[in-house]
Structure 1
Amino acid sequence: MAERRVEASGEETAGFELPMLLFAGFRSILDELHRELAEQGHADVRPAYGYALQAVGRDGATASEIGRRLGVSKQAAGKTVEKLEGLGYVERVDDPRDGRRKLVRLTARGVDVLVRSAQGFDRLRARWVGALGADRVRAMEADLRAMVPEGAFRIDVPGWFND
């Protein structure tokens, strides 16, 4: 049975609750974002695709580079690229620097979903500010930055969950 602690507020909490609450907050934001994206014509996009599109980046990337950025194998990255290509979010083109390689690039649809995602994240943060207040949200962000190790803003979440 989990050990319970009494917080300063008088509430009892168990150690496992903090990561679960953080994950639930993360998940609720992503779920709401994806509901919005579906309403905006991107019903086929999944959270993992967002990370992959970020890994492709503005200049494009090879499947190997995408795999490294995501922390997954080249084969796993290749399967994701195939799916994204089939959905019209990326295209494969000859690498202008090396004709033997294929470069994965964002299509207009891929750029559109990333722009809409950024706007959606801003709207969702504003909703949290409306519910909790700007000071509390800024304090929560500052507290998380203080506790999170350096370099934690990475896009290899899919690979991390698969370790």
Structure 2
Amino acid sequence: MRLADLGHPDLRPAHGIAMQMISQGGSITDLGRRLGVSKQAASKTVAGLEKLGYVQRKASARDQRQIVVSLTARGVEALTLSGDILNQLRDEWAAEVGEGDMALVEDALEKVGRPNGLDRIVGWLGA
């Protein structure tokens, strides 16, 4: 909701995860590998984000046959804003439950986020 209020009404959590992976650079195949999805699913995600103006495709400077995907200025803005929002939410939650309980939640999330943790999270979000 907050991101929508800041000019990004079409973005969903799965888009944010995909855009984080796109920000690391590479091709659609690389994106699929990072997200744990097929090349076709990654291509579909890129097409949707491209239509919304968040990513762009370009021929690789090293190999003109390969297409690399990168964030547009709008994509960078959305990721920056979503990071700011996440930090605000964290502070609000900590104010509600206390820093001690918030530290427990963060520790648990860190454990879930270890190897293969992102694969489970992406699956939950339907990416």
TM range (shorter): 0.7 to 0.9
Larger proportion of strand: 1
Change (3 A) 1:75 1:45: same
TM-score (norm 2): 0.88
* TM-score between both structures, scaled by the size of structure 1: 0.70
Alpha-carbon offset, residue 47 of structure 1: 1.1
Offset at residue 146 of structure 1 (A): 7.8
Alignment CA distance shift 1:52-1:145 (3 Å): closer
Residue 21 of structure 1 is matched in structure 2 by none
How many equivalent residue pairs? Answer: 125
Residues 89-131 of structure 1: CA distance to partner in whole angstroms, max 9, x if unpaired? 0000111121111110100000001000110110000001110
Runs of at least 5 residues in structure 1 that lack an aligned partner in the other structure: 1-34
Contact kept, 8 Å, 1:51 with 1:156, in 2: the verdict is no
Return the match for 1:154 from 118, 121, 127: 118
Q: Which runs of 5+ in 2 are unaligned?
A: none
- Which one of 114, 125, 134 corresponds to residue 79 of structure 2? 114
Q: Which residue of 2 aligns with 1:124?
A: 89
Question: Kindly, what percent of the aligned residue pairs are identical?
Answer: 41
* 1:59-117 CA-partner distances (Å, limit 9, x unpaired): x2211111111111100110110010010000001111211111101000000010001
Post-superposition CA distance 1:3-28 (Å, at most 9, x none):
xxxxxxxxxxxxxxxxxxxxxxxxxx
| Counterpart secondary structure, 2:67 | strand
Q: Which protein shows a greater Rg? A: 1
- Report which of the two has the higher share of helix: 2
Task: Name the amino acid aligned to 2:29.
Answer: S
Structure having greater relative contact order (Cα 8 Å, sep ≥ 6): 2
SS in 2 for 1:154: helix
